[in-house]
Structure 1
Amino acid sequence: MLTPNGYGKHSALAIVQAKAQKKAMDLYLIKQLLFYCTVINYAILLIWFTVILLARTSIYRLHRRWFQLPDTRFDAIHYSGMAIYKIGILLFNLVPWITLCLLLPSS
């Protein structure tokens, strides 16, 4: 079987190049994964916001059956939850994706 150097054995350079190419491919896959995670997480955040915006009273009545929540606390809980979720998206999905976009050449 012929190898990249044309002989029966792998040269050290060919092995290093193959490993570097594999790492680059892994980084491209991670870049794609982070992009899709960002899109999905922002879609979830948008759905959460829309549901609270359109069906706030129904959701509040449902939660009021189980918990004694004042109206302002209910709003504060959801607003805080959305803020924490958004910060999580930024820190764990969007910033690493942007970093990989800046470091890796476009393919």
Structure 2
Amino acid sequence: MRSVHYVCASSSRKIAGTLDENTAWFEFRQVAYLFGMNLERAAKFLRQADMTGDIEAAKDVRSSERSMCLLSHRAVVAVGYQVNYGRATAFRHWCASDMSVQFC
């Protein structure tokens, strides 16, 4: 696995993750931080994204060996679109161009 780092151009907030084949993974708490919301609100948006089919929780959410919740880049974008479309779009473009991850 390779480490990846994202810096939001509009807020300068930074998150770090790992690239596992064609999927980037980020800690849930960092995703909430990136979009400027508390964990409860982020969890609500994550559940909504799963219920609407924007993500598949079985594929896009997992636990790490340190008992942390990890979200795929697809889940990060889905949560982000609920909160800040511009930041989520910028993150999606970064994933596609800088990491060659797939959004399928």
| TM-score of the alignment, normalized to the shorter chain, above 0.5 | no
Q: Which has the higher contact order (CA 8 A, sep 6+)?
A: 1
Pick the TM interval, shorter chain. Answer: under 0.3
User: What is the TM-score when the length of structure 2 is the normalising length?
Assistant: 0.24
User: What is the TM-score when the length of structure 1 is the normalising length?
Assistant: 0.23
Higher helix share: 1
